[in-house]
Amino acid sequence: MHGPVSEVIQFIDLNAYSIVFLFIVGFIGGLVSGFIGSGGAFVLTPGMMSLGVPGTVAVASNMCHKFPKALVGAIKRYKYGQVDIKLGLIMGLFAEIGVQAGVVLQRHILEKWGQAGSNLYVSFIFVLVLVVVGLFVMRDAVKMKNSVSEVPAPTLAKRLQQIELWPMLTFKTANLRISMWFLVPVALATGMLAATIAVGGFIGVPGLMYIIGATSIVASATELVIAFVMGLGGTLVWAYYGTVDIRLTMLILAGSLFGVQLGAIGTTYVKEYMIKYVMATIMLIVAVSRFFAIPRYLNELQVTSLSPGSVVIMNQLSFGIMCFALLVGAGIILVNLFKARSLEKSMVLQEG
């Protein structure tokens, strides 16, 4: 991922379609990222590639748009008192190490099993992580929604917080104290997943909630700081090799900064379980999408023998479902945001 780019890079010519496409996808992605802390950018890389952008340029430009978006989202949510900067920076630092470890692992797999093997590994990890974590988060969200009393902090997080293992770290905004040794694995896993499937937040946010013990609001807000640190590190490497197409980055940013602000505003209106609910929904739909991408790699590895036509259809279906996941997430956020706003407005009118 961060290796030297030897081939001559071809940058695309922009037209009205690609500009509008990038703006809209940027907006929807930003909306989801501002709300759940991450997960809004995974459609962009395949989306840009569908416009004819080379893979490396798509990944680099996507990475370059992620960190300013995360920065703006983090600042917005910091104003709402939701961000634990210290937690985010420490996690971000170790997550960056995780990214490098993930890159090494990817290279190793690439050397051993070739491109198709590597892709199969990525898709397999994608489906496994998204299904397991997504189902867990969804179960928790449903439990929270149906619960009349306040749901207690996760048992695992509570137990880990009680273990006094030097060095103990205190996080005021997240209102927790935990040993650094429990933070590091979560951060490394976040980084490794980011290097593998480009969305570290699918591990980072649940990790912060269920292992570290932060609330979903603080976890999703702090994830933006982690994404900023990781994104900045990644961008510096990609930009060093001259693979960032700044025009694409700016077009995505044009839409995503509108979205990230709105997503951040949305977190102040909805209940805690809603963040988990949106995240789990997106994760599970994306898992289905990746499932449809697996037959292509199995075919390339000659494990299966599907016709090229059905492989193409499955690929298109996979991309379509991925877009659908993002649209569903954005839809839930917008509907809940405006519903909660109108409810509060009517309450104000009644009081006045």
Partner 1 sequence: MGRKNTNSLPVTAAGENTGVGVASQSPRPRKTPFILVVTRHGHMGEPVMNYAVNVAERLKYAIFAVHVNTLPFFCDGGRRNRLFASAMEESTAQLMEMARAKGVLVEHLGESGKIGRVVKRLCHSERHIEFVIVDQGIAKEEVATQSPVPVFGVIYTSAKPGQIHTATHHITIKKGVSGMSTTSRKRHMKNCFVFGALTVGLYAAVFSSQSVVMTYFTKGGLYTILPVALVFAVSYVHGNFTSAFWSALGIEGSQATVKKEAEIRKEAPVAADIRKDTRPRAQVSV
CB of 25 within 8 A of CB of 255? yes
Pick from 243, 281, 299, 336: which binds partner 1 (CB under 8 A)?
243
304 binds partner 1 (CB under 8 A): no
Residue type at position 120: L
Pick from 265, 298, 327, 328: which binds partner 1 (CB under 8 A)?
265
351 binds partner 1 (CB under 8 A): yes
Pick from 1, 22, 31, 72: which binds partner 1 (CB under 8 A)?
72
Pick from 11, 23, 136, 324: which binds partner 1 (CB under 8 A)?
11
Q: In the bound complex, what is the minimum distance in angstroms from residue 11's beta carbon to partner 1?
A: 6
Q: How far is it, in rounded angstroms, from Cα 5 to Cα 305?
A: 33
221 binds partner 1 (CB under 8 A): no
Q: How far is it, in rounded angstroms, from Cα 45 to Cα 59?
A: 6
Pick from 3, 52, 242, 320: which binds partner 1 (CB under 8 A)?
242
Q: Which stretch binds partner 1 (CB under 8 A): 99-107, 110-118, 297-305, 341-349?
A: 341-349
334 binds partner 1 (CB under 8 A): no
345 binds partner 1 (CB under 8 A): yes
220 binds partner 1 (CB under 8 A): no
CB of 241 within 8 A of CB of 63? no
272 binds partner 1 (CB under 8 A): no
Three-state DSSP at 168 gives strand
339 binds partner 1 (CB under 8 A): no
The one-character DSSP state at 153 is P
Pick from 36, 41, 71, 285: which binds partner 1 (CB under 8 A)?
71
- Sign of torsion over alpha carbons 192, 194, 199, 204: positive
Q: How far is it, in rounded angstroms, from Cα 158 to Cα 326?
A: 33
Q: Which stretch binds partner 1 (CB under 8 A): 111-119, 248-256, 281-289, 291-299?
A: 248-256
Contacts of residue 63, defined as CB under 8 A and 6 or more positions apart, other chains included, come to 231, 234, 235, 238, 244
76 binds partner 1 (CB under 8 A): yes
286 binds partner 1 (CB under 8 A): no
CB of 331 within 8 A of CB of 325? no
Residue whose C-alpha is closest to residue 34's, from 283, 273, 267:
267
| Count, residues in the chain | 352
Q: How far is it, in rounded angstroms, from Cα 220 to Cα 201?
A: 8
Nearer to partner 1, 167 or 308 (CB): 167
Q: Which stretch binds partner 1 (CB under 8 A): 44-52, 67-75, 93-101, 134-142?
A: 67-75
* Contacts to partner 1 from residues 146-185, by CB under 8 A: 161, 168, 170, 172-173, 175-177
Contacts of residue 131, defined as CB under 8 A and 6 or more positions apart, other chains included, come to 284, 287
Q: How far is it, in rounded angstroms, from Cα 42 to Cα 257?
A: 16
Q: How far is it, in rounded angstroms, from Cα 117 to Cα 110?
A: 7
Nearer to partner 1, 70 or 321 (CB): 70
Measuring CA to CA, how many Å separate 335 from each of 230, 241, 332, 338, 348? 31, 42, 5, 5, 20
90 binds partner 1 (CB under 8 A): no
Nearer to partner 1, 76 or 276 (CB): 76
Name the site residues for partner 1 (rule: CB under 8 A).
9, 11, 64-65, 67-69, 71-72, 75-76, 79-82, 161, 168, 170, 172-173, 175-177, 213, 217, 232, 235-236, 239-247, 249-250, 253-254, 257-258, 260-262, 264-265, 268-269, 340-341, 344-345, 347-349, 351
